[in-house]
Amino acid sequence: MNSKELEQMIKESLADCKLDLDEKYAFKELANTLETEQLRFIKNKAFELGRPSIEQGGSEAIRVYHWLERLLKAIQPHETNFTMKPSAYFSPGDACRVKIIALIKQAKHSINICVFTISDNIIVREILAAHKRGIKVVIISDNDKANDKGSDIDRLSAQGVQVILDHSPHHMHHKFAVFDDKILLNGSFNWTRSATDVNQENILVTANSELVLAYVDKFQALKKRFS
């Protein structure tokens, strides 16, 4: 994310001085993906944008001050993925999508995705960015959903991402992903806009080695079966 995008994100949050739950998740997960200079930019820009209201005093100054406190707390360094406790995220709202994007951005060498359908352009953009920076991305999906209007499966395949489809009479209905063979994401959440915007969905993220290995093995079995 470049400085203009970061600044716009800060301005949108400052507009109502609330830093609601979705915004808090967004900043917290984004902090895992940024360099030290980018984190410093967020802090400096937040103070710069909030300073005029704080200097004027009154109730607005108090609101901006509390917003700053919450923002700075959200972007403080926290546990790395490899020592983290399992965490759960729910929709509707951006929490699931934000976590998925954060994990894609953090991936160092591989992303194995096994989902029923992918049609969220925001997530697709991050998958393509990971592919372009040399991350080995493999996607297993369902052939019936790949033909749906709005599906991005063909787009991903056309740009060089390895896509494997289940052409059996039944559905490949899994919704999980494994990052660097160390982080597991699993739940009901399909990678679609409706899953974020309106559906009641969930994901669970864990670095538990036994669970990760079970899903790595399952992914490889499905890859072999459908290839």
In this structure, what DSSP letter does residue 110 have? E
Give the pair of three-digit tokens for residue 159. 């740009």
3-state SS record for 167-220: CCCCCCCCEEEEECCCEEEEECCCECHHHHHCCCEEEEEECCHHHHHHHHHHHH
In this structure, what DSSP letter does residue 57 have? -
Catalytic residues: 173, 175, 180
Asked whether the beta carbons of 39 and 75 are under 8 A apart, the reply is yes
Asked whether the beta carbons of 145 and 139 are under 8 A apart, the reply is no
- Name residue, tokens 């399992």: 86
Distance CA 79, CA 85 (A): 9
- Name residue, tokens 């917003």: 67
Where in the chain does DSSP place strands (E)? 87-91, 110-115, 136-142, 162-166, 175-179, 183-187, 201-206
